[in-house]
Every structure is written in C-alpha cells, then in structure tokens.
C-alpha cells in the first residue's frame, strides 16, 4: 500500500514525510482493517513529526482522524461488516483493567496506545484498529466532513465539557483552528455568546462568519469577561490573560496535547475568586460517541481544505503557518470528496 512515512523527527519545513510502498497490514483477532478514504491533519501530527512529543520507534505512519470502510474483519469480530463506514480517532487502545479504565477515565490509562504515534495511522491506504475503538460514522456527514470530527471535534467537545460552559453563557476561545471552528458551532447551538481571540485575521473573519459575537487579537479587548474559556493555541503565555478575562468562578480548559511553558501567575490577579484551570488529556470512547451524536443532530458542517495524500507535508506546513481556514483533510480515495 501507499503511505506517508516518518523516518525521523524534523521540522515540517524539511518535508520529513516520505511516500513509500509498505506491506499491507493484516487484521488480527478482535481487529478490523479499514480502507482509508480521508484522514484529517492535526496539530498533534505536527507535534509527533517535529519531536515535541517524546519520539518513539520509527518509522511511523502519522494520522488519527481517519474515515474509511471495513475491508477485512479479523477473527472474533462481530460489530462491523465489510463495507461499513467507520472512523478511527487518537485513542487506539486502552487496557480496560486499570483504575482509570474502570472509572470511565480510559483517556488516562497508563497502557494507552495512540493512533499515528504508537500504532500506524491514517496517512496510508489501509489501517488496522481494534474494532471496539472504531466509531460508526453518521450518514449525514461526507467523508471530508467526518474526518475533522474525529479529533478536532472530539477534543473540542471534551474541552467544552471541561470548561464547564453551560447553555446561554459566554464562552471565550483562544486560537481558532480546526477544533475551535467546530466548538463554536456547538456553543452557538446551545445559545452561548462566543468571543474569539486569535492573531490571524483570516481566522477572525471565519469566526465572525460562523457567528462569534466578537473576534479580536487581544484578550483584554473582549467586551466582557467570559463564564468559561478554552485555550486551543499551544502557547502558555496566553494562560494569564485568559484567566484574567474570566468571571469569578470561571473555568479555563487547556485543550492542547503540547504547550509551551506557562509563565508565573499572580494569585489575586489570575486565580483568586475560585477560578479554575483544567487540562484536557486525550479522549474516551464515550466522548467520541457523544460528539458524533451531537454533531449529527445540529448538524455541524466542518470547513475543510483538501489535499491529496502525497501533499501531506504541504498540508501540515500550511497548518503550522496558520494558513488553513477550518480543517485540512487528506484524500486517499478520489471519490471520498463526494461521499455523504
């Protein structure tokens, strides 16, 4: 099969992903093999490729926002049949036995395996996943629309929950990439007022077009403090101003898997009055199921920019340079553009 393979970590500007012919994977017991139609690009892919996450064994095939159809059920599988459309997300496997797994916190499992990091991902024609960690894709979404929901959507939804935002409240979003442009659609569906803070003029334009009440480049310019906030940008220096712009009792959720160091905080200025600072770690399968149900009901319509698999380096470079409006999606099958 064709795949984009990372041999060693390097800046995306050097085009470190190489197109290669690699052996087709085979579904083992309890696994399904999926013929990939589309795979979203994600900032986490950049962190893996550029070595900001601890480098693991190489080579590796990145990608964890995968949409495709089952083409080989492994022994002992029964949940999906050949031809079923499924999604694969970042969480590839959890042990199911530890205290975290037994308390509905499998995202914290010490033995967790992640797609496109520990296990081969979706920048390829075929991928294998335990069938219990695959998601049925609602028919309301095309392959292109579904791909960003499988990480940007899931992590955005978990971040929204972690921010403790409630319907009708004011929500501030810092950074407005793939995840935030999905979260805003959920928040507006809840009747929330949404403020967006981003340095990118094109992202501010998209935020306003999607329904943001305000979009600017500096937190202190927001019309009012927010009840809740989510920081999507991997920039620790945004934490103090985001906390400062929270109402008493407000919560700031940090959505990134990687972030630069957070500067020192002033207790009175940033944390007093029962303000909360919460991180977000991966997702549970229930997060994914809940997000897909909510997204189908609204329905969410992700904005996508499409690239062929061979241009994965270019798509990720545009992501790094904040030149994508919405979500970048790689197409592996040409017909994936029209499927819904």
pLDDT tens digits along 155-184: 999 999 999 999 999 999 999 999 999 999
Is the pLDDT at 69 greater than 80, yes or no?
yes
What confidence tens digit (pLDDT) does each residue in 24-44 have? Answer: 999 999 999 999 999 999 999
- We report the CATH number of the domain holding residue 60 as 3.90.180.10
Please report, rounded to a whole number, the percentage of residues in the chain having pLDDT higher than 90.
Answer: 94
My answer on whether 126 and 172 are in the same domain is: no
Listed in order, strand segments (DSSP E) in the chain are 2-6, 17-21, 31-40, 66-73, 85-88, 91-93, 113-114, 126-130, 134-136, 170-174, 193-197, 214-216, 226-231, 246-254, 276-279, 304-308, 327-331
Is the pLDDT confidence value at 308 over 80?
yes
For residue 278, how many other CB atoms are within 10 A of its CB?
14
Q: Are residues 7 and 127 in the same domain?
A: yes
**Is residue 202 scored above 80 in pLDDT?**
yes
In a shared domain, residues 159 and 235: yes
To which residue do tokens 């197109």 refer? 19
Q: What average pLDDT is seen over the chain?
A: 95
Average pLDDT for 242-257: 96
**Which of 245, 261, 279 corresponds to the end of one domain?**
279
* Same domain, residue pair 78 and 133: yes
Residue at which a domain ends, from 230, 246, 279 = 279
Confidence at residue 211, expressed as pLDDT on a 0 to 100 scale: 97
Residues 93 and 28 in one domain: yes
Q: What is the pLDDT at residue 333? A: 77
Q: Are residues 287 and 300 in the same domain?
A: yes
Do 105 and 182 lie in one domain? The reply is no
Residue 112 reports pLDDT greater than 70: yes
Q: Are residues 290 and 196 in the same domain?
A: no
List beta partners, residue 23: none
> From residue 5, how far is each of 17, 220, 248, 295 by CA, in Å?
5, 43, 48, 32
> In total, how many domains does the chain have?
2
Distance separating alpha carbons of residues 292 and 239, to the nearest angstrom: 29
- Kindly report the CATH number assigned to the domain that includes residue 217: 3.40.50.720
Do 10 and 79 sit in the same domain of this protein? yes
* Confidence label for 151 from pLDDT (cuts 50, 70 and 90): very high
Q: Is residue 335's pLDDT more than 90?
A: no
pLDDT value, residue 340: 55
336 — pLDDT class (breaks 50, 70, 90): low
The stretch 213-223 carries a mean pLDDT of 96
What whole-number distance in Å separates Cα of residue 63 and Cα of residue 42?
A: 8
Q: Domain end: 231, 254, 279, which one?
A: 279
Asked if 247 and 159 sit in the same domain, the reply is yes
Question: How confident is the model over 68-91, as a mean pLDDT?
Answer: 97
DSSP assignments along 90-119, one per residue:
SEEE--S-STTGGGT-GGG-TT-EEBTTTB
Find out whether 184 and 212 touch, Cβ atoms under 8 Å.
yes
- CA pair distance 301, 141, nearest whole angstrom: 8
Residue 340 CA to residue 337 CA, distance in Å, equals 9
Question: Across residues 53-81, what is the average pLDDT?
Answer: 94
Structure confidence by residue, pLDDT tens digits, 268-307 = 999 999 999 999 999 999 999 999 999 999 999 999 999 9
**Cα 144 from Cα 325, distance rounded (Å):** 14
* Structural domain range at position 184: 154-279
| 230-262 b/e (C-beta count within 10 Å ≥ 16 → b) | bbbbbbeebbbebbebbbeebbbbbbbbebeee
DSSP codes of every residue in 274-303 = T-EEEE--S--HHHHHHHHHHHHHTT----
3-state secondary structure of 71: strand
Residue 258 has what pLDDT? Answer: 87
Query: 267 and 296: one domain?
Result: no
Which residue shows structure tokens 């992590």? Answer: 155
Token readout for 299 is 């329905």
Do 173 and 291 fall within a single domain?
A: no
Which pLDDT score is estimated for 229? 98
């Amino acid at each position: 099969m064709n795949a984009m393979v990372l041999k060693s970590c390097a800046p995306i500007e050097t085009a470190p992903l190489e197109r290669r012919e690699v052996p087709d994977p085979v579904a083992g017991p309890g696994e399904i093999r999926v013929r990939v139609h589309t795979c979203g690009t994600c900032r986490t892919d950049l962190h893996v490729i550029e070595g900001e996450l601890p480098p693991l064994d190489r080579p590796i095939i990145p990608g964890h926002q995968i949409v495709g159809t089952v083409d080989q059920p492994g022994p002992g599988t029964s949940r999906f049949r050949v031809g079923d459309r499924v999604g694969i997300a970042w969480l590839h496997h959890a042990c199911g036995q530890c205290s975290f797994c037994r308390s509905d916190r499998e995202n914290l499992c010490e033995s967790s395996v992640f797609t496109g990091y520990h296990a081969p991902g979706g920048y390829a024609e075929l991928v294998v996943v335990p069938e219990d960690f695959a998601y049925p894709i609602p028919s309301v979404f095309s392959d292109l629309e579904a791909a960003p929901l499988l990480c940007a959507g899931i992590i955005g939804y978990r971040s929204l929950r972690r921010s403790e935002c409630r319907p009708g409240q004011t929500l501030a979003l810092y950074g407005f990439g793939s995840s935030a442009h999905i979260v805003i659609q959920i928040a507006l569906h809840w009747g929330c007022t949404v403020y967006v803070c981003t340095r990118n003029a094109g992202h501010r334009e998209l935020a306003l077009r999607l329904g943001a009440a305000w979009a600017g480049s500096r937190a202190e310019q927001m019309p009012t403090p927010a009840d809740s906030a989510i920081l999507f940008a991997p920039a620790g220096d945004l934490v103090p101003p985001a906390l400062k712009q929270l109402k008493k009792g407000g919560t700031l959720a940090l959505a990134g898997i990687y972030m630069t160091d957070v500067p020192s905080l002033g207790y009175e200025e940033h944390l007093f009055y029962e303000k909360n600072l919460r991180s977000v770690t991966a997702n549970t399968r229930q997060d994914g199921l809940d997000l897909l149900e909510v997204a189908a009901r609204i329905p969410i319509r992700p904005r996508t920019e499409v690239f062929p698999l061979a241009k994965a380096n270019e798509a990720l470079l545009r992501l790094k340079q904040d030149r994508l409006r919405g979500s970048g999606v790689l197409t592996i099958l040409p017909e994936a553009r029209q499927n819904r």
